Amino acid sequence: MKALLNKSDFIGLEERVNLCAGGETPMLKSHFGAMNQFALDKSQGERARDLEAQKVESARMKCGRLFGVEKDDITFLSSASEGINNVAHGLKWKMGDNVVIVDVEFPSGILPWTRLCSQGVEVRIVRHKNWFIDIEDIAAQIDDRTRVVALSHVSMFTGQRMDVSSISQLVRSSNALFLRDATHAAGGSSGGCKPCGYHGK
């Protein structure tokens, strides 16, 4: 299999092999240039705001092409964790509502939902079977009071790549929303893109 990038394009891989791509990924050497340019732009005072806006628009267009959506559907947050919290605390919840999550999630994909328990929201946790999440087990937890099904496209614990097309169809057949954390499926978590895919019906 041909690699998308050469090993020499990354920082710190001269004498090691990194097997933690689901958690902390080495940055690209090209990031040095991007950070240096940001410092140069930022030092130009008021003009820096326009330069930053141009960079943001360019990045939104590129991310839109990457994920097959319009640039206006792209926004940037500090992390996927921030996106998950925005959804968890931005919806209007009613007592008896429930959220379906899995037990092999990054902690920030679990904790925001547990804080909703004080509002009478039930958090339904799908347990792994020998470190594998079965879609049928997710389906079994969804009912007419499910508001959100939230999971990672790729688990940082197991590396399992979820069949998001099938899960999306499953969720769309209910009244729930599908929140997909695509961080570990989008090419890196340290200094890379951190999209939080929020899909309505």
**Confidence (pLDDT) at 189:** 37
Nearest one of 105, 194, 195, 94 to 149, comparing CA atoms:
105
**Confidence (pLDDT) at 5:** 83
The domain locations on the chain are 7-73, 80-199
Which of the pair, 80 or 25, is modelled with greater confidence?
Answer: 80
Residues 116, 159, 179, 172: is their CA dihedral positive or negative?
Answer: negative
| Predicted TM-score of the model (pTM) | 0.77
Nearest one of 150, 172, 173, 174 to 162, comparing CA atoms:
150
Query: CB-based burial of residue 139 (10 Å sphere; 0-12 exposed, 13-18 middle, 19+ buried)?
Result: middle
Asked if 170 contacts 139 with a C-beta cutoff of 8 angstroms, the reply is yes
The correct answer on CATH 3.30.70.360 for the domain covering 80-199 is no
Which residues have a Cβ under 8 Å from the Cβ of 186 and sit 6 or more positions away?
A: 66, 192, 193, 194, 195
Residue recorded with tokens 């695509």: 182
The CA distance from 116 to 110, in Å, is: 11
- For residues 113-138, average pLDDT: 96
Beta strand 98-102 with 122-126 is parallel
Q: Please, where are the H alpha helices in 68-122? A: 80-90, 111-114
Judged by average pLDDT, the poorest of 18-27, 64-73, 168-177 is: 18-27
- Residue 18: how many other CB atoms lie within 10 Å: 13
Q: Does the pLDDT value for residue 47 go beyond 70?
A: yes
Q: Does the pLDDT value for residue 105 go beyond 60?
A: yes
Which tokens is 47 given?
Answer: 């003009």
Distance of CA 123 to the CA centre of its chain: 20
